[in-house]
Amino acid sequence: MEFPQNIRYLAIEGVIGVGKSTLAKIVAERCGGRLMLEQYEKNPFLDKFYQDRRGYAFQTQLFFLLSRHKQFAEQMNQQDLFFPLTVTDHTFDKDRIFASATLDEAELSLYTRVADVLARDVARPDFIVYLQASVEVLMQRIRKRARKMERDIDPDYLRQLIELYNEHFFHYAECPVLIVNTNNIDFVKNGSDLENLLERIASVPAGLTLFTPQSNEQ
């Protein structure tokens, strides 16, 4: 699996449970790239956030912002001559999407001021794959992977995140974005689904492409 030389940073994005990490691992292995995964489990507020979103939103979001900045600054900004491509299962901008869903107006204003400063240090993706799925499918996948912190996740929260993600990526202009509806594909168990998806990813870095995009209706 090969990319043009100008594609050095590929990001896989999408809502909770859509399969970002799984696909990022596959792509990195196929292309011999460096893999950088989101370190969500290190956030000490995340468990409490899922139990009380309003009460722990700001602490959770600020911790994610600072830890993701540290991760990107330390890993992404260090040129690695041994890897032609870096693959991540998130972007730095992801944090703003979640912040807009969880913070009140005053908190979001303060968060945005901090995020704007930190964003100056962060490398931008050369290409993004945005994975979509319906709320029903996401809930099935979340239940199947059975992470304790996600067992009480609210479908309405997922619905809100889907709307915010769609808004963000349907108007994203900083690099090419491939939009993939994963409702009816299984790139883990179905080899043909995987090969078709990898072929699509490798063939479209020159421009914006939509691949079976789903509607905003969930």
Catalytic residues, by residue number, are 89
Nearest to 33 by CA among 112, 114, 88: 88
Euclidean distance between CA atoms 64 and 46, whole angstroms = 9
Rg (CA), the chain: 17
For 78-85, the CB contacts below 8 A with 24+ separation are 80/34, 83/32, 83/33, 83/34, 84/3, 84/5, 84/8, 84/31, 84/32, 84/33, 85/3, 85/7, 85/8, 85/9, 85/10, 85/28, 85/31, 85/32, 85/33, 85/34
Q: Tell me the C-alpha distance between 109 and 106, whole Å.
A: 5
Residue with tokens 């468990």: 47
Please give the Cα distance from 218 to 195 (Å, whole number): 27
Between helices 105-119 and 94-102, what is the axis angle to 10°?
170
